[in-house]
């Protein structure tokens, strides 16, 4: 920890851009957690367990990756969890009704994307603040899902489909490949494309972005569509892993996804943050649960431990950045 602080003030890291440094500090925070865990439990540093953590983080990362783009524009998408629920239930219904996995997957992905598009249009065309628009959307999606699921659970899908969630390729879980694919795509999009740079510009200063010729509304619609589409993809992974869908699957997903983005160093005020940071955020949140299970920490203490570790991880980063503000 003291090394990190020193580095923040005058070390070799000081020359790196602030975003990169921020990610490095969060990686350090994550490694501190991981190192502690490897001392505490010998099961932690095994390839099986690490792959297990990556697989568990993949669902959270997929949801959080689209959300990262939204938050980079100083927006918010509160409907991601409800979107996962609706998309998963729709995909499940279609697979059961038609027997076609391809149709079901298309339905799930399509539903997710359309919800994102609706969010984008609410925010841009109707000028509804993102918090309100997506909060309203959350309720609409819950309403539709509860109505057509009627409290039922749909379960039991073809083995080939389930492999998407629980299968392996070359010893690595398939969701991990999906996560890495979208991590690379997300980094390339955000850092290497004009559109990506425009997303940052909108978050930093929308008026300046508009004056310098950025099509602000179209880019905003794009980020909400991305967030919705990623929720649709997450719903497919969810369905394949859990082999079942019920109306309330998404409820517990929204806040952790937002937390993963913020713990990863993306600012709620827009313009600052990165995909890699969001991956680290998702990993930190997943590690905490893994850690508590491996040590079989008493159920009564788990919420408290979760809270303390999350706050500590970000505090460590703030501490290391003190140099920047002076």
Partner 1 sequence: MRAFSITTLAVAALAALATSGAARADNERLAVFTKNQTNPYFQVVRLGTEAAAKQMKATVTHYVPTKPDSIPEQMNQIEDVIIKKPDAIVFIPVDYKAMVPGVQKINAAKIPVVNVTDRSEAGTFVTFVGASDYDLGKETARSLFKAMGGKGNVIAIEGVKGSLTNIDRVRGMNDALKEFPSVKLLAAQPGNYQRVQALQVMENLMQSFPQIDGVFAANDAMASGAIEAMEGANRKALVVGINGTKEAVDAINAGKLLATGDYNGFLQGCLGTMAALRSLRGQPVPKQIVLPAAVIDKSNASNHTVPVEQRGCPRWEDAVKG
Chain residues that interact with partner 1, rule: CB under 8 A: 41, 43-44, 46, 48-49, 52, 55-56, 59, 136, 139-140, 142-144, 146-147, 149-153, 155-156, 166, 238, 241-244, 246-249, 251-252, 289-290, 292-294, 296, 299-300, 302-303
**263's tokens:** 């713990």
State the DSSP code for 4: H
Measured in residues, the chain has a length of 326
Instruction: Please tell me the distance from the alpha carbon of residue 275 to that of residue 68, in angstroms, as a whole number.
Output: 7
Q: Which is nearer to partner 1, 112 or 173 (CB)?
A: 173
Distance in angstroms (rounded) separating the CA atoms of residues 271 and 81: 24
Nearer CB in complex with partner 1: 139/269? 139
Give whichever of 128 and 144 is closer to partner 1, judged by the CB atom.
144
Question: Which segments of 41-100 does DSSP mark as H helices, in order?
Answer: 47-72, 80-98
Beta carbon of residue 65, minimum distance to partner 1 (angstroms, whole number): 18
Beta strands 172-173 and 153-155: pairing type?
unpaired
Compute the least distance from the CB of residue 31 to partner 1, in Å.
Answer: 19
Q: Which is nearer to partner 1, 177 or 195 (CB)?
A: 177
Enumerate the β-bridge partners of residue 154: 245
CA angle in degrees (0–180, nearest 5) for 187-277-323: 120
Nearest distance, CB of residue 6 and partner 1, angstroms: 35
- Quick one: tokens of 145? 């899902």
Cβ closer to partner 1: 80 or 202? 80
Q: How far is the CB of 106 from partner 1 (least distance, A)?
A: 23
Task: Work out the angle at residue 300's Cα, subtended by the Cα atoms of residues 296 and 303, and round it to the nearest 5 degrees.
Answer: 90
Nearest distance from residue 293's CB to partner 1, in Å? 3
DSSP 187-237: HHHHHHSHHHHHHHHHHH-HHHHHHTT--HHHHHHHHHHHHHHHHHHHHHH
By beta-carbon proximity to partner 1, the closer residue of 211 and 252 is: 252
Closer CB to partner 1, 216 or 294, in the complex: 294
SS3 118: helix
CB of residue 180 to partner 1, shortest distance in Å: 19
Cα distance between residue 97 and residue 230, in whole Å: 24
Tokens encoding 130: 């993102």
Contacts of 218 (CB under 8 A, 6+ apart): none
Q: How far is the CB of 87 from partner 1 (least distance, A)?
A: 15
């Amino acid at each position: 920890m003291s090394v990190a602080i020193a580095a923040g003030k005058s070390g070799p890291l000081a020359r790196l851009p602030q975003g990169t440094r921020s990610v490095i500090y969060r990686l350090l925070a994550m490694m501190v957690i991981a190192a502690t865990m490897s001392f505490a439990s010998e099961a932690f540093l095994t390839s099986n367990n690490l792959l297990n953590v990556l697989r568990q983080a993949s669902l959270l990362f997929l949801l959080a990756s689209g959300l990262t783009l939204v938050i980079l524009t100083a927006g918010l998408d509160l409907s991601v969890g409800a979107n996962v629920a609706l998309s998963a239930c729709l995909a499940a219904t279609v697979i059961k009704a038609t027997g076609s996995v391809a149709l079901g997957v298309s339905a799930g992905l399509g539903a997710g994307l359309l919800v994102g598009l609706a969010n984008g249009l609410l925010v841009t065309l109707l000028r509804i603040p993102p918090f309100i628009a997506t909060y309203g959307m959350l309720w609409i999606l819950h309403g539709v899902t509860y109505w057509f699921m009627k409290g039922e659970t749909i379960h039991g899908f073809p083995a080939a489909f389930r492999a998407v969630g629980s299968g392996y390729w070359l010893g690595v879980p398939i969701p991990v490949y999906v996560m890495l694919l979208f991590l690379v795509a997300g980094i390339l999009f955000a850092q290497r494309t004009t559109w990506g740079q425009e997303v940052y510009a909108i978050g930093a200063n929308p008026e300046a972005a508009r004056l310098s010729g950025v099509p602000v509304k179209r880019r905003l619609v794009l980020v909400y569509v991305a967030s919705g589409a990623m929720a649709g993809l997450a719903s497919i992974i969810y369905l394949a892993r859990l082999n079942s869908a019920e109306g309330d699957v998404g409820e517990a997903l929204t806040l952790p996804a937002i937390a993963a983005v913020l713990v990863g160093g993306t600012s709620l005020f827009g313009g600052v943050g990165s995909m890699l940071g969001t991956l680290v955020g998702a990993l930190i949140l997943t590690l905490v649960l893994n850690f508590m299970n491996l040590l079989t920490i008493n159920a009564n203490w788990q919420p408290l431990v979760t809270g303390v570790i999350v706050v500590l991880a970000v505090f460590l980063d703030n501490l290391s950045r003190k140099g920047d503000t002076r």
